[in-house]
A and B are shown apart, each in its own frame.
Chain A
Amino acid sequence: MDKTKTILSAQQVSIGYTSKKDAIAIANGINLNLKAGTLTALIGANGIGKSTLLRTLTGIQNPLAGTVFLNNKDLNSYNATQLAQQLSIVLTESLPPSNLTVFELVALGRQPYTNWLGSLSNDDLASVEKALQLTQIEHLSAKKHFEISDGQLQKVLIARALAQDTPLIILDEPSTHLDVLHKVNLLRLLKTLAHDAGKCILYSTHDLDLALQLSDDIIVMTKDNLVHDSSKNLIANKVFDTLFDDPNIVFDESKNGFVVK
């Protein structure tokens, strides 16, 4: 596993929206470099543009300027299937009503590799089994996806992304609805996947303290700029002091967290 391999990078990227008349930029001059085998958290205040950044990085939205590279190739040059084999996502939106079992749901992750009918080969079945094992949900395989708890469903969706066998996994606020125990377990799982399976994992979150403790790197988005560095360096450079606009919320180094004055 080449730990120094760059999976996802951005060069001078501007993100934002285009309306009929002009382009509204949310952030400019973004440069990023995410490597294999790392777990990176994306932190920022509400409304700062985290979702927009994620959408740009996953190709759902086009950058206003600059280029996003996936495996050193322009993101735009991938066709849908190729992209699906390199990048998988985990979202928080609720699933449409259906009768899918946990196994079937995870198996859907194999679609970029299956034939026109979507039939599972032996290799596909093996990948699905492995994904179930890594997330420790084999005992849930036969259950319907609406019969399990939110936390378990979270794991199922991650297993699905794993089954998709992509070097890059991006998660959009995966810990939002979970209690502390589940949050910690989730991050531990992500960390294990990154280090043991060599995945490059990027996730957005509001839980800064846990991110600081369990992630390798953090991307901090503020109004003025975007910083990507290890937790240690970020704290040393006092980046978190200006994270929120409120002077009463202060970052306490000794506590590794925010304190209200």
Chain B
Amino acid sequence: MKNLFYLFIFTLLAVTGCKNEPAATSATAEKTTNSVRYAKGLQIYKYSGITVVKVTQPWPDAKDGFTYVMQQKGAVVPDSLKKYTVVQVPVKSVVVTSTTHIPSLEMLGVENTLIGFPGTDYISSKKTRALINSGKVKEAGANESLNTEILLDLNPDALVAFGLNSTNKALNTLEQSGMKVLYNGDWTEQSPLGKAEWIKFFGALYGMDDKANELFDKIEKDYNGALALSQKVAKKPTAMAGALYQDQWYMPQGGSWGALFLKDSGANYLWADTEGTGSLGLSFETVLDKAENADVWIGPGQFTSLKEMTDANPHYAQFKSFKNKQVYSYSTKKGATGGLLYFELAPNRPDLILKDLISIFHPEVLPGYQLQFFEKLK
């Protein structure tokens, strides 16, 4: 059910080991603070002419992270920082590897620096699709394997990759060739605002830290505004999520990104008290037993109509939420080539997701609101 992410792993060992933190002998005069507030895996320190970006959780249970030094023109990189990957910013050409990176580029207005993407069909945003159709964005591989040759030929200023754990042969080769490979850990974030805050990662890459901060602040404000509205509502409808996949019902765990939204939108998610940030694998009976009378059903996988659901499994009709046609799916809104809008834009716009969910659970709070990501299944 999860998005098919693109796995590119950067070797830890020799080049960018984070193990030895520089002592206070660096030439950096000012000691600044981390400007990141919500994201647990990202730290950004701005100095004059240099921004130090630390990705501390490139993948779950990562022992070490990565440090990147974004160097603006004319700035001096102190010796203590020279052992990290230094990137000249703003970058003029970039290859990203997840559709979740695209909205950040567009919000910063730098989508025209994109020159390649693995699996361009997955991109749904119209703006970037136009670039793809005009040939500016090249196909860089299929699914999970980056095409080394094409990447070498494209030779982007930076490659924003992300990965599962520490070995990926293709990324090793690219890194050996001198390409700047950066790990983006946004997918390991669980908190809604934490995920969105990764726009600052891209801000640093383009020397647009201020713009990124501004964009995020607005999202934060809108999110908290909606959150305040939802807290005022007393009644909390019960909610369930997920669907069957090969005999297992994948139900988001209480600490996962999806579940946190349900909590913030003032719903009573029936599995909210489970721990973990992944999914539970439950049997159909367990789910029916607990959630037969749930008010609302959120996100039943890839289904786009009620009939599709009963065709796949007639027992879905047993749920009260199904009978009352209170099933809301995110799989109906797609781009021209089939990419799901939800997977691409949602991580960057938690404010819109929250409003969507509030509108679903407490329609009276946001009168006239049009759902952006979800659609009530017919």
Q: Is there a contact between chains A and B in the complex with CB atoms less than 8 Å apart?
A: no
